[in-house]
Amino acid sequence: MISQPSVQSLFLEAMANGEVLGTGTGFVVEHGNRPYLITNYHVVAGRSPIDGQPRHRSGAVPDKLRVSYLLPPMPGRLFWEERYETVLDVEEDRALWLEHPTHGRLVDVVAVPLANSAGTELRPYDLLGGAPEIMVGPSDGVSIVGFPFGITGGGRFAIWTRGFIASERDVDFHDLPRFLIDARTRPGQSGSPVIAYSAGGMTSMADRSTAIFDGPVTNLLGIYSGRINEQSDLGIVWKVRAIKEILAAQKPGVAGL
């Protein structure tokens, strides 16, 4: 019995000229019948979303992501395959990701149109709100499903970290589409989906009713992008609204400063 979110998170390695610069997390959504990888700007661009400066000590920035894709299941076994997704056209210095139409890189979220995922087992998150909506407000628990320090839970199964809503979700933190959580997250979890998850049974719903489910219910709340500073466990979650705005606008990203 494998929980669906454990395989929905994808292990990412940011590459420059064949060398690994760092690891991160991503997940897939669909828009216009096409799959997109959702992760952070700072993972794909290798730059700070604040000032655009390279984050790696060498000054290198990624040209590809090495993505561990789940393959179609075989009886009793799961396999992953590493494939490359190009994120930077080096010859033209052109970004191959989409960014936020209004705030650009300040919204630390990008969508990468997948070009090399054919034949893999994609498990997209639903952006349309098809699942019953679970009650989630300040102090309620959430899960951050990713790869802290590049660690996996065996194979390429993701690690679940528990956190709590720390700010009102209906209020934009510092006037950007994001809210805060309180969670002991670590490098490598950037780009992780943040979810409300019920394994089943009696569950509190957003309309203040209760419901009984005979299986898991998952609500995607947003995408994690790191702590507000190194001394705090408060972390930033970009809302699903930001992902939808990026996909709707189809605005190409900017490679440099």
Residues 194-213 have pLDDT tens digits of 999 999 999 999 999 999 99
Stretch 41-68: mean pLDDT, rounded?
A: 96
User: Is 255 within the bounds of a domain?
Assistant: no
Whose tokens are 């060498």? That residue is: 58
User: Is 82 within the bounds of a domain?
Assistant: yes
Domain that holds residue 68: 4-124+243-249
82 with 156, same domain: the answer is: no
CA 236, CA 130: separation in Å to the nearest integer? 25
Rounded to an integer, what is the distance from CA 177 to the centroid of its chain? 15
pLDDT in tens, 85-138: 999 999 999 999 999 999 999 999 999 999 999 999 999 999 988 899 999 999
pLDDT in tens, 14-44: 999 999 999 999 999 999 999 999 999 999 9
pLDDT for the residue numbered 51: 94
User: Is 256 within the bounds of a domain?
Assistant: no
User: Is 116 within the bounds of a domain?
Assistant: yes
Q: Which two structure tokens, joined as six digits, stand for 223?
A: 């995408």
User: Is 208 within the bounds of a domain?
Assistant: yes
8 with 120, same domain: the answer is: yes
Q: What are phi and psi of 10, to 5 degrees?
A: -110, 135
Whether the CB-CB separation of 161 and 181 falls below 8 Å is answered with no
115 with 148, same domain: the answer is: no
Average pLDDT over the chain, rounded to whole? 96
pLDDT for the residue numbered 187: 93
pTM of the model: 0.96
Q: Which two structure tokens, joined as six digits, stand for 171?
A: 């209020």
Res. 1: pLDDT tops 90: no
